[in-house]
Amino acid sequence: MRIIVTGGAGFIGSALCRFLIGETEHSILNLDKLTYAGTLESLRSIANSPRYRFVRADICDRPTIEAIFSDYRPDAVAHLAAESHVDRSITASSAFVDTNIVGTLNLLEASRRWARACAAGAEGFRFIHVSTDEVYGSLSASGRFCEDTPYRPNSPYAATKASADHLVAAWHATYGLPTIITNCSNNYGPYHFPEKLIPLSILNALEGKPIAIYGDGLQIRDWLHVEDHARALRHILRLGRPGRKYNIGGDNERSNGEVVRTICDCLDRLLPLKTSYRALMTHVADRPGHDRRYAIDATRVREELGWQPGISFEEGIEATVRWYLDNEWWWGPLRRRYSGERLGLIDAPA
């Protein structure tokens, strides 16, 4: 297949590109704007593959997107390009509306025009929209999100992703575009921009800086290793049913405080100091509208498509800590873009 991966220089997108080039015979066009969180260094290992190509473009630029589709003639689109950090969405929501909603609309329209002419025909074309469990809102102490859970987004980020999900579903129902929506839980692993909880905690610890814990630290997330996510997306590309939704989760519920303690304990073993890294943990004011708990029911993707997560949280988090210890060449330049200051404080209109 010839696959356009949008946002392929980001965290999950680059993992998908590396997986598809390394483990399949597919050809990939990585379409990325290269915003602050995107870096081609994440694609260094596949940059010289004859099956890999990069184009710098903004999905909000419809004429350029249309031209790329006509030139590349894709059989599928894996749409991962998005503004994705909740903290940034609190104070800069307009960028999230532009990219996550308008950008998705542009890709759907380009796909609708192209699908009829692609090599596999309109029925063989696939548009995979990679979304988030945050569209479902917050859970109480019990229960899990399933594909039929009502949408109740609580942040500007989640609201824009929910809007995009509805567009994708509508383009299938109205125009017959073969779309599939995936909603994943929190990803972690290598090549993760250091503004998110796990990489930020690792790097702050290495630099002896406070490790911020929002509120009481008891917010619970279901953690999914990014390489398991990439494998799930391949299953969905091959076997997923158009018009269907698939929730992808790692079945690894951990509180934010527990995640940070696990990171500190890994560092205590791998790079010990006179005192534990836990001494750097610092509770700060909570994020506005912070959801309390997410948990994914991934029964559908497991039973229908045969996917299973293969990396336990304990194995994955230690491997992630080791990766950051060994790869300053990658995160050092990004750390100069964002050094770890608090984001998402409400101090000005968006």
CATH number where 304 lies: 3.40.50.720
Does some domain include residue 196?
no
Torsion of CA 155, 159, 162, 168, to 10 degrees: -140
Does some domain include residue 23?
yes
Please say if the pLDDT value at position 348 is more than 60: no
The number of C-alpha atoms within 13 Å of 297 and in the hemisphere containing its C-beta is: 13
- Over residues 49-98, the pLDDT tens digits come to 999 999 999 999 999 999 999 999 999 999 999 999 898 999 999 999 99
Distance CA 108, CA 77 (A): 10
Please say if the pLDDT value at position 196 is more than 60: yes
- Tally the residues of the chain: 350
Does some domain include residue 199?
no
Catalytic residues: 133-134, 157
Q: How confident is the model at residue 350 (pLDDT cuts 50, 70, 90)?
A: very low
Amino acid at the residue 289: G
Amino acid at the residue 180: I
| 90-104, 115-129, 255-269: segment of lowest average pLDDT | 115-129
The dihedral sign for the CA sequence 237, 239, 243, 247: negative
| DSSP conformation class of 3 | E
Does some domain include residue 180?
yes
Does some domain include residue 275?
no
Coil, helix or strand for 9?
coil
Q: Are strands 27-32 and 2-6 parallel, antiparallel or unpaired?
A: parallel
Please say if the pLDDT value at position 124 is more than 90: no
What lies within 8 Å, CB to CB, of 142 at 6+ separation is: none
Does some domain include residue 321?
no
* Structural domain for 20, as ranges: 2-188+224-251+293-311
Burial degree of 25 (CB within 10 A; 0-12, 13-18, 19+): exposed
**Tally of structural domains, the chain:** 1
Tally: H helices and E strands in the chain: 13, 12
Does some domain include residue 36?
yes
- Over residues 18-43, the pLDDT tens digits come to 999 999 999 999 999 999 999 999 99
How high is the pLDDT of residue 115?
A: 85
Does some domain include residue 319?
no
